[in-house]
Structure 1
Amino acid sequence: MTQYAIADIGSNTIVLLVYEMVEHYPTAILHISTPAHLIDYVDRDRIMSKEGIHKATEVLQSYADKLDEMQVQYRFADITEPCRIQNKEELVASLQTTGWDIYPLSGNEEALYDFLGTKYSYPNLTNGIAFDVGGGSTELISFKNGQPIDAMSFPLGCVRLRHLPIDTPECEREILSARREYPSLNISCEELIGIGGTMRAAGKVYQALFHEELTIEVTKLQEIFDKLCMHDPAFEAAMKANVDPSRQPVFLPGLHMILEIARIYHAKRILISKTGIREGFLQIRLEENKLM
C-alpha cells in the first residue's frame, strides 16, 4: 500500500507522520514527535537565529533518513507559525536541502486545514466553532452547513503564553478582537470542537481524572486548571503521567487559552477531534498531486 509522509513543523514540536489511506481515511502507521521549541529562536524583530534554522533542518533531515529506510516516496512538510518570520526565505532554503517539499502556511491556511482534517473525525459537522491552541498561534474557525465560513489565526499560543502571567488578559483580548473582525465568530456556542496537541493533551488528563472520553465538560476542565494552579498532588500526578515531558511546561498556559475560548463562547462542552491540520494538509496535497 502506498505510504505518504507529513512533517508538521510547529512552534513547539516537529512531528513526522506516515499515513496509509484505508477506505479514504488517513491511517497513521508511524508517529515521531521531536521537541524543538523553534519559537524560542525567534527574536523580537521576527528573525530566527541560525541555531534555530539548523535545529529545524537537522530534525527534518533525520526524518528524511528514516523515510529512506522505509522507502516512502511522497513527502510533504508544512511550516506554521515558525515560518511567519522576516528571514522566511533563509529557513525554507535550508529545509529544502533535506529533499522535502516545503509548504509555509499562512494563519488562515493553517485554520482551514485544521477544519478539513477535523471532518475525518466529525464528518457530519453542521454549524459551530472549532479552535486549535498551538505553540505559537491559536486558530478559530466558524462553520455552517458543514463548510468553513471564516478561518483565522492570531499569534498567541501556549509557548508564548508560558512567558506571561498565568492569568494574563492577552487571551481574552485576542479572542474578542477576532470576534470583532470576523462577525461569524461572534456567536455563542454551547459545544465547541477542540483540535490539536494542546487539546488532546488536556483530554488525556481529563480522561485519567474523570474516566470520560472525547467529550469534555468545561466545568470539570476548569477544575483541573484550578487544582493545577494550586499544585494539588493528585492533579499534578495525573498531568505528569499523561502529558509528554516536553509539553508539560506549556500545558497550563495552553489550558488557560482553551478555557478563555470556552468562557467567551459560553460553551458547556468541548468535543476533541482526533484529526486536524496534518490530515487536512495531506488531503489537499493528495488532491493537488492527483494521488487520491
Structure 2
Amino acid sequence: MRIGVLDVGSNSAHLKVTDLSVGAPPDPVTTVKRPTQLAEAINADGAVEREAIDRLVASVGEAVRAAAAHDVEELVTFATSAVRDATNQQEIVARVAAATGVRLGFLSGRDEARLTFLAARAWYGWSAGRLLLADIGGGSLEIAHGEGQEPVLALSLPLGAGRLTRAHLPGDPPSRKHLKRLRRRVYRRLNEASAQVMPGLEGERPVRPVATSKTFTQLARLTGAPKRKVGPYARRVLELERLREQIPVLAGKRASSRAKLRGLSHPRAPQILAGAIVAEALMTTLEIDRVDICPWAIREGLIMRRLQAMSDPAAADDETARLTQAVPAARIRPPLSPVPTLSA
C-alpha cells in the first residue's frame, strides 16, 4: 500500500509518501515540502492572517497534486497547533477544503506526543530501553517517556518556539529584559512539568534521551552535528554545554544573521533563539547532558500506526482513521518537483 502523510505545520506543509508492506520496514518514495510560514503570521487576536492562509492553501494544493501524481492510495492529513489553536481555525479548514478537496484534521498535543514516541521507538528499537522523548514544535513542546511502544506519560506544553517568539521576544534582536523574562517563564513552566516527568525516570534501568523536530536538529547542527546530506543514519547529538555556548551568539544577532550560521534555515531563524532557550531549560530541568537526535517524528509515527493496523486490524485506532481520506482529484496545475527523501 502506498500512503501519504501530510503534516501542515507552522513553517511548512510537508508530504511524505511511503510504501507499506506487512513484515517489511516503511519504504520511503518521496517527500514534498512547501512553505506556510504561519508562525510569523498570527495576529494579536490569535488569527492566522489572510496572506498566510493563501500560502497554506497553495502549499496543500501542491502536496495533493504530488500525492495524486505518485499514485497515493490513502492520504493522512493533519495540522498542528498553528492551525489547531488559531481563532479562525474553521475558516482555514473551510478554505483548504474548498480549494484542494483536503479535509484537515487535528491531533491533540498528547496524541502528537504519543505518535512521535512511537516513531522514536521504531527507529531505535527495543535495545534502546527506556526512552525519554522531547519535541519542540512551532506551538508546543511534547514530552513522553516509557519502555514500550506506547509511552507511560505523554505531555504537551505551550512552549513552542514560534509561539514564544511571537508572545515574548519582540525586537530583532530582542532585548536582554525580554530574554530574561522568557527564560524565567520557561523554567517556571518546566519546573512544574518536571514533577510529573521525573518520578518516571527513577530506577536502576538507564534512560535514553532522544529529541525530534527541526528545532532540535538545527540546534544540533549548529553545535557540530553532521550535515543533513550525510544521511539519517549518522549519529547526531545535542550537548547541553555546547548549546549554552550558542545561546548568547543567537541572542546577539538579527534573524537575518542567524540564518547564515551553520545549519540554521531562513524560515526558522526568527524563532531558533526561543527554541534554544526551551531546549536548554528542558535539558537542565530534567538533568540531561545530551540528547540523541531522532530523524523520525510524528509523520513516521502515523506511518507506523498504519503499518501496525495492516498486520493487526485490532491495532487500528480512531486517531489515525479520522485523519485518513482518499486523495482528492488533482486540480489544474501539475505538482512541483519533489525533494529527495533522507528518511529511512
TM-score range, shorter chain: 0.7 to 0.9
| Residue correspondence of structure 1 range 177-256 to structure 2 within 5 A | 177-180=192-195, 184=199, 191-207=208-224, 213-229=235-251, 240-256=261-277
| Residue correspondence of structure 1 range 1-292 to structure 2 within 5 A | 2-21=1-20, 24-82=24-82, 83-97=84-98, 98-100=100-102, 102-124=104-126, 125-145=128-148, 147-163=150-166, 164=169, 165-167=178-180, 168=182, 169-180=184-195, 184=199, 191-207=208-224, 213-229=235-251, 240-287=261-308
Bigger Rg, structure 1 or 2: 2
CA contact (8 A) 1:187 1:265 kept: no
What is the aligned-residue RMSD (CA, Å)?
3.2
2:81, 2:226 → 1: CA distance?
32
CA contact (8 A) 2:19 2:27 kept: yes
CA displacement 1:176-204 (0-9 Å, x = unmatched): 23234567568698752111111111222
Shift in Å, 1:74 = 1.9
Q: Which residue of 1 aligns with 2:319?
A: none
1:199, 1:179 → 2: CA distance?
20
Aligned length: 287
The 3 A distance-change label for structure 1 pair 54 and 179 is same
Query: What amino acid is aligned across from residue 240 of structure 2 in structure 1?
Result: V
- Could you tell me the TM-score, scaled by structure 2's length? 0.72
Shift in Å, 1:52 = 3.6
The 3 A distance-change label for structure 1 pair 223 and 213 is farther
Counterpart of 1:207 in 2: which secondary structure?
coil
1:246, 1:44 → 2: CA distance?
21
CA contact (8 A) 1:207 1:213 kept: no
Q: Which has the larger displacement, 115-124 or 209-218?
A: 209-218
Shift in Å, 1:70 = 2.4
Query: What amino acid is aligned across from residue 261 of structure 2 in structure 1?
Result: K
- Could you tell me the TM-score, scaled by structure 1's length? 0.83
Counterpart of 1:141 in 2: which secondary structure?
strand
Unpaired segments ≥5 residues, structure 2: 170-177, 314-344
Shift in Å, 1:274 = 1.0
Q: Which has the larger displacement, 247-256 or 128-137?
A: 247-256
1:286, 1:94 → 2: CA distance?
31
Shift in Å, 1:263 = 0.6
Counterpart of 2:238 in 1: which secondary structure?
strand
Shift in Å, 1:10 = 1.2
Shift in Å, 1:133 = 0.6
Query: What amino acid is aligned across from residue 36 of structure 1 in structure 2?
Result: T
CA contact (8 A) 1:20 1:27 kept: yes
1:290, 1:84 → 2: CA distance?
35
Query: What amino acid is aligned across from residue 105 of structure 2 in structure 1?
Result: Y
1:237, 1:40 → 2: CA distance?
16
1:85, 1:100 → 2: CA distance?
18
Unpaired segments ≥5 residues, structure 1: none
Structure with greater proportional strand content: 1
The 3 A distance-change label for structure 1 pair 237 and 100 is closer
CA contact (8 A) 1:205 1:238 kept: no
Shift in Å, 1:154 = 1.4
Query: What amino acid is aligned across from residue 119 of structure 2 in structure 1?
Result: G
**Structure with bigger RCO (C-alpha 8 Å, 6+ apart):** 2
